[in-house]
Structure 1
Amino acid sequence: MPPLRSTGAGREAEEPRYAGEYRLEAPLGSGGMGVVHLARSASGLRLAVKVVHETYASDPEFRARFRQEVAAARRVSGAFTAPVVDADPDAARPWMATLYVPGPTLAEQVRRNGPLSPAELRRLTAGLAEALRDIHRAGVVHRDLKPGNVLLTDSGPKVIDFGISRPVDSDLRTETGKLIGSPPYMAPEQFQRPRQVGPAADVFALGSVLVHAATGRGPFDSDSPYIVAYQVVHDEPDLAGVPADLAPLVARCLAKDPAERPTPDEVMAALLPPSYEATAFIPAQRRTPEAPAADAVREGEAVRDTDTRA
């Protein structure tokens, strides 16, 4: 497979035109660790290709983490994620290609259209619980579930960005004293015992994501990540605005003790009967008039690489 190539001078030379055999057509989003590009396979399949920033390509720790990201994403590829098509973590600029999934992130949807309706919120809860069950069954803990890492599609939510996920059987360890994640969506144990983080941390993040979806803010809000971290560990979550029928379940997800949180299966059981409306996340003005709403596909929405680190 040919190496990443770039042409031009100055800043343009820093961005490759190819990832392996895939020509990069347009940037879709940029994060702290890399840029996601729209690309196509030889058959015309649309792909989202994540290419790491050049500054991280020479960092052995980052390369180890990126290999782990690729391995984790491959383990969980399925109905609830963006399936991995190809990857080369050993390239001069490491990259990974996943199937392009059209649709806004939850963060974008809330920012543009406000909090979700109760029906949309139940659909999101069921979909994310089902996704976490699938991810955990594959032996992976995501560790960075947040609104920017949830894509809303006509077939339900998809969880993306396994950049700091960790297989349960992984020997790779985070450096002592280094916190990795997004503080408003991190579980207390991620601050206190980062080497002992398990699947229950993703359930805590689920609770925080649901509060954001229901209210437009998190259960622990502050401009300072240090204050947020203190609130996550010591304070009770602010659930004002969460629908009354979901608030007790969300509160259980946000329990300080991991053992007191429900499993994804228990979350789904608590929702019965869930909403299966396929158009739950598609605003009426975005539905195509010539096709049934359930078949409407949003074109042109960007897959975002919202990879952030504390």
Structure 2
Amino acid sequence: MNPDVTERLTKHTGPLTDTTLITDRRGVQVWRVTAGGGPDAEPGQRLAVKIPADHDPAPTREIAVLRALAEQTGTTRSPLIDGDGFTAGPWFDGPSTMALFKPARTSTLPSPSEQAALLAGASDFCHAVGELHRLGWVHTDLQPAHCIHTDHGARLIDLAGAQGPRPLTDPALNTSYNGALAHLEAPELARSLATDTPAHPTYASDVYALAASLWTAATGHWPLNYPAAGIDPHSATLTELRTAIGTGHIPLRTAPPALSMLCDILRPALDPDPASRPRAAELAQALQAPHHQALQSLRPTGGS
């Protein structure tokens, strides 16, 4: 970690007893550190520290989102530090959804206990998204890596792009949505982004990304069957890919037999028509139900 950042950070946390670089991509380094104890951190508390390059406002915006959520709910992810050239928040211990679903991707027949754990984890992810929606927020960047399964439940991370029921306090942070991971974007968003028209994330587009994330984590493949549509996702430009996704005509992949129940439950949430998708909370309930009877309980999300 940059010594200057370390010096500024320790004013909040006390001496750091551990620093580990977790990721360095898209212009932001993410470090896991352990605080020695200071004004804003307990001794031994692990924190996620984000250091943006080129004045990327995403980490600062995420702290603003988390503070707005804390004010709304009367709780907080403590600490929430917007420092000089860095941000810091709690580190959540536990596997991501992608890591949790590794048994499904590496075994032709996960054991009954593994399948039960996977369905429970998928339901927890959906519940976390449903709670965010209940508060009036849309995540906008749901991915298999953006949900952490802790001992205290699923926790959503990477909320830098989240859109809430009211503007953030700092007007400069009220930026418009300009896309996330195209393979997980709902067709209505992809269609707008491909034509450079304003794209407006909704609960329904979040539900699409949620289901696409679960499908990807479970199967190891994007949910859309690109070869069946004559598309090479590796050679297509981003605009070409979004144009194709935006048609809503790319079929879903065939699910592996061992994952057919899970994928059948996810299919309604991947409907190209946003009005036909279930709500996140309803998807969670379907994943908790024992058999395909749960599909009958799914109903559309409606508007945002």
The verdict on a shared fold, with TM-score over 0.5 as the criterion, is yes
Partner in structure 2 of residue 289 of structure 1: none
* Structure (1/2) with the larger helix percentage: 2
Counterpart position of 1:279 = none
Could you state the TM-score of these two structures normalised by the residue count of structure 2? 0.70
1:26-65 alignment runs, 5 A limit? 26-30=19-23, 31-32=25-26, 33-40=28-35, 41-42=37-38, 43-56=42-55, 62-63=56-57, 65=58
Q: Which secondary structure does the structure 2 equivalent of 1:253 belong to?
A: helix
Q: State the match for 1:207 in structure 2.
A: 211
1:264 to 280, 285, 300: 280
Alpha-carbon spacing, 1:219–1:149, altered in 2? closer, same or farther (3 Å): same
Structure 1 equivalent of residue 98 of structure 2: 107
Q: Deviations over 1:232-290 (max 9, x none)?
A: 32312214227333333211111112111100222133234479xxxxxxxxxxxxxxx
One-letter amino acid matched to 2:80: A
Match of 1:16, SS state, is: helix
Contact residue 75 and residue 138 of structure 1 kept, 8 A:
no
Contact 2:8 2:84 in 1 (8 A): no
Unpaired runs of at least 5, structure 1: 1-5, 7-11, 57-61, 276-310
The Cα shift of 1:168 comes to 3.2
C-alpha displacement of 1:97: 1.7
Quote how far apart the aligned CAs of 1:208 are: 0.8
Kindly, what percent of the aligned residue pairs are identical?
A: 20
**What one-letter code is carried by the residue in structure 1 that aligns with 2:84?**
A
Change (3 A) 1:274 1:127: farther
Residue 26 of structure 1 aligns with an amino acid whose one-letter code is T
> Shift of the alpha carbon at 1:131?
0.3
| 1:16 has 2:10 as partner | no
Q: Number of matched residues?
A: 250
Distance 2:280 2:214 in 1: 14
**Contiguous gaps of at least 5 residues in structure 2:** 169-173, 193-197, 227-232, 292-304
Aligned position for 2:85:
93
1:136 aligns with 2:172: no
SS at match of 1:35: strand
Moved over 6 A (4+): none
Distance 1:244 1:127, change over 3 A: same
Q: 2:186·2:205 contact (CA, 8 Å) conserved in 1?
A: yes
Q: Report SS of the residue matched to 2:80.
A: strand
Corresponding residue of 1:284 = none
The answer to whether residue 245 in structure 2 is matched with residue 232 in structure 1 is: yes
Counterpart-to-counterpart distance in 2, 1:67 and 1:197: 21
| TM-score (normalised: structure 1) | 0.69
AA aligned opposite 1:107 = M
Q: Counterpart of 2:79 in structure 1: which amino acid?
A: D
- Residues 190 and 201 of structure 1 are in contact (CA less than 8 Å); yes or no, is this contact kept in structure 2? yes
Please tell me whether residue 122 in structure 1 is matched to residue 106 in structure 2. no
The answer to whether residue 264 in structure 2 is matched with residue 248 in structure 1 is yes
The structure, 1 or 2, with the larger RCO (C-alpha pairs under 8 Å, 6+ apart) is 1
- 1:144 positional shift: 1.0
